Every structure is written in C-alpha cells, then in structure tokens.
Amino acid sequence: MIAAALSRRAALAGALALTTALPLLGCAPARADGPVAGGSVADRAVARRAGPRSFAPLIKRILPAVVNIAVEETVRGPDPLADLPPEIRRKFRDRLPPEAQHLTGAGSGFIIDPAGLIVTNNHVVGNADKIVVGLSDGRSYPARLVGSDELTDIALIKIDAPGLLPYVTFGSSRSLQVGDWVIAAGNPFGLGGSVTAGIVSAFGRDLGASPFDDFIQFDAPINPGNSGGPLFDNQGRVVGMNSAIYTPSGGSVGIGFAIPAELVSKIVNQLEAHGTIQRGWLGVTLSGGSGASPFTPAGPGGVRIVSVIPHGPAARAGLRAGDIVDAVNGRKLGSARALQRAIALAAPGSRVELGCTRHGHAFNLSVEVGLRPRIELN
C-alpha cells in the first residue's frame, strides 16, 4: 500500500472502468420534538455538528466555485546522441532530436476570489505547459501560473473571465474534531464536478513527503483527479485541500489526506503577493530534525536543540545547545517537525516567542526569524 498523489495521466475511457456509483452519505438530525430541540446548548451544538438530512442545499451553494483543471506537459526522453563525440552530435542533431511526449492530466481546484484566483496542488499544474480551467457552468478558460510551492504542494493559478466568479472562503481545520462531517469536491478521473461526504478520521498525519506534512485524514472517497479540490466543513467553509490517498490499487479505499486550510491560506497569500515562498529560519539542529529521524515526537519537555549555528537567528537571540523548546507563540510542540513548520511559516524578519527550558528553568525567548537558506531545514 502506498500514499499516492491524486493526479493521474490516463485515458478517460480507462478511468471510467475503475469507478462505481457511490451513495451520498448523510446523517438525519434529531427530530424537532426530540430531546435535542429543547436540550442544553451543548446538545444543540452536537445536533449542528451531526450534519443535515441532505447536503443538497449546501452543495448548490459551494459547488459552483469548484473547478476542473486540464493540463498538458511536454516531456523529452533521453538524448540518443548523448554518448557520441561533440562533432557527431552537432552533425546529427537536427536529424534526430530527442523524442518528446505530450502528456495530459486532470485535477481540481477552487476559486477563492471573484476575479479568478484559483487554488490547486503543485503536482497538478507545477510542470504544465498548458492549463485550462473548466467552470461548473460549462465555460472554460486558459490559466496562468501565479506561483507554486513544491514543498507544501500548493499552487495558485489565475483565469480571466468576464464578470465576477463564485468563490469560497477558508475556514479553520482547528475547529474540526475527529468524527465531524466533511465534504470533498473535485474532478475524479476527469468526470467533472463531483462530491462525496465522510468524517474526519485523524489529524497530523505525516506521509514523509516534506518537512511540512500535517495532513487531515478523512474517509470521504476521493480518487485520481481530486487533487487540488476543496474539503469543506458542513458550513461550506474550506478546511483543507485534497492531495493524496492511501491505496493498494490506485483507487479509493476510504483513506484520504488533505492539507489543512491554515497552511494553504498562508502559502496562497505569499504566492499572490510575491509569486514565491520566503520561509523563516531559526539556525539550529534539532533532536529528531535534520540529521536524525524527522518523525521523532517531542519528549516530555519539548524539542532539544543539538547545536546552534554561529551568528544565526537563534544564536543572536541567546538560544544554546541543550536548550529545550516546547512552544512557539504559546502553541505546544508535538515533534521536531512541528517546530520546523512553525518557524518556516513565520515571515523572515518577524519575531516569534519560544517557550524554552534550560537546566530545568523555564523561560521565554523572543527570536527574530531569519530567511531560510535553500540547503537548510530548520
């Protein structure tokens, strides 16, 4: 079984044979004359979280902002003349160019601005030569890449369409609990706008794809082509972006992964403003970080600093080897990777408050975050 990104370059005819009709999941609320209607505030909150008898009214409102994405990419094969002397390569270059393949693929996205800004996965559009966005009303428009980030697998594209487009807004994945209803929308197998529903299964899943893995796991069926599509809560807010599945066969087995909305929105804001990502940097080596297992959880006291890079941000602030960091801006750390993520998402030049322990004594340390060099992880 493998974790697989949800973009597949396959003929639609072949994809159709892999799909089956799935019933829309739902949960009937308590009867209006039941105990919940006249119960406590907590009881009524549970009733709201339980989900509607039908998701249809919600789907009608949010689905117009979900788009289909078609991409074309040119991939050149190995140069058949690469091992020949230069003079022979020059002689035969025009007669025998490297073979090129034109690949097509399909993915999903969602509109976040009525002017045509669309969020999707980097692995859907990052290497595309041509991007075409299909709207829910049947119109299609060419798109340009505003910016993308390979490490978080997030991309921002733009279309120019007449008038204002329907759009959706980001919510907070932190408002979710395991067991809450979620709705996944997208373009599975290139079939067009589709929705499925399920519940949140777990938080903080790490697939080993990058230092910033922090996936929401859910059981709403998603398949190749759903990449880049939104994951909604039952209020119609985007709480994640569907990005990967865990599968033995290439199709859904009910284990899907979404990038949390908090990370998506932060990356998208930077891509819109700058087209690239500038990440924060602390200038330390961590126990369980670079050079050790990145999956190591934080100990009872937090994440231990193994070494401090001279003249780096941490050194200037007074952090020392052997110090333990257990919180960033008041948020407790669960692993070395959590510290990496928190610092990387801080804007270079901004200040973060670290909760630290040194020789058993707790203290807070304010650090001005540096600009993360490409070769560094922490």
**Catalytic residue list:** 123, 153, 227
Q: Where are the alpha helices (DSSP H) in the chain?
A: 12-16, 41-50, 56-62, 86-92, 122-125, 261-274, 313-317, 336-344
Nearest in space to 247 (alpha carbons), one of 7, 2, 51, 26: 2
DSSP strand E in 287-341: where?
303-308, 324-328, 331-332
Which DSSP category does 129 fall into?
S
Residue 32 burial (C-beta neighbours within 10 Å; 0-12, 13-18, 19+): exposed
Task: Give bridge partners of residue 154 from the DSSP assignment.
Answer: 149
Number of Cβ atoms within 10 Å of the Cβ of 289: 23
Number of Cβ atoms within 10 Å of the Cβ of 30: 15
